[in-house]
Homo-oligomer: A and B are copies of this chain.
């Protein structure tokens, strides 16, 4: 059953039927009613492909993850997609999920989608500071929105949590608790959000007059395993860090596991703070202090932004930096020996551990 057949049966032209069905005003109520009820009766559904070709719109938005691998084992992916999907669904748009296969560049996937006119707009996540996907799309003026900023952010729509501020808050919290040896388990610094968070960490420390030793910063990656590995390495340092900031909750949960394995209680001997507030964070042991990221809402906004772009909105008006919220649970607390930490640790120089007796008191063995 197609439009031609339906109009034939109604004794009307395709034009009139099409307009009746699409809610145009210049069709008589009686005709519309006849058309609609006959369409339902005959089970008519318009052919989306034909509509798309004719209208020049694909009614489809693509999502091109930086790497799906980054989401393996990561529970918040479904929530992001749900937010995007429900918004697109309401607008009768399809969501194409582009899975970038190992060894292929996300840029090539973007290209395929854009040049084949398979999508009207795109959503990107986990932007690199210099992101080839962004350069390409912004260069072409193609409608897109990103989760996270990058160096071209001024030119496109985005939603981002203020990661710099977030890590500043988390670091300040630890400083206020008396920590001085604060480590950061980060990830690949090509990710812009890694840099931002790092900047917040450094800023808070700098304000406290602390330059963190190089060894306190690690770029291990996402996921539990990476967090555990990093934590174990950090615990071998002397002086030993009394607090661990983690790039993501899974990292933090892995780190806490490693700590427990070493007989160190997270939140007591060593504080840990995560990022994202995944469902697991609330029920971790101990419940993880973290930064709340309303990922579902972010998905909704991203989809809405792309839709707005298609309606001619200005990308400059579609840039949102959300204020972070620090969720304090039980994985952070004062360092075990605040006096020693405050006195000794803060003056450790940037690179090598101090030569014996050269400066400052050493920690008790």
Contact = CB atoms under 8 A, between A and B. Distances in A.
Interface of A: 43, 45-50, 52-53, 58, 60, 68-69, 71-79, 81-82, 84-86, 88-90, 94-99, 101, 109, 115-118, 223-225, 228, 254, 257, 260, 278-280, 283, 285
A200 to B, nearest CB: 27
Nearest to A116: B48
A364 B99 CA distance: 58
Given A97-B95, A99-B95, A68 B85 contact: yes
A50 B47 contact: no
Contact of A84 (B89, B99, B257): B99
Nearest to A44: B115
As for how many copies of this chain the complex holds, the number is: 2
Contacts of A60: 96
Contacts of A224: 279-280, 283
Given A84-B99, A101-B89, A279-B223, A47 B116 contact: yes
Nearest to A104: B89
Contact of A50 (B43, B53, B82, B88): B53
Contacts of A88: 99
Contacts of A254: 283
B99 A96 contact: no
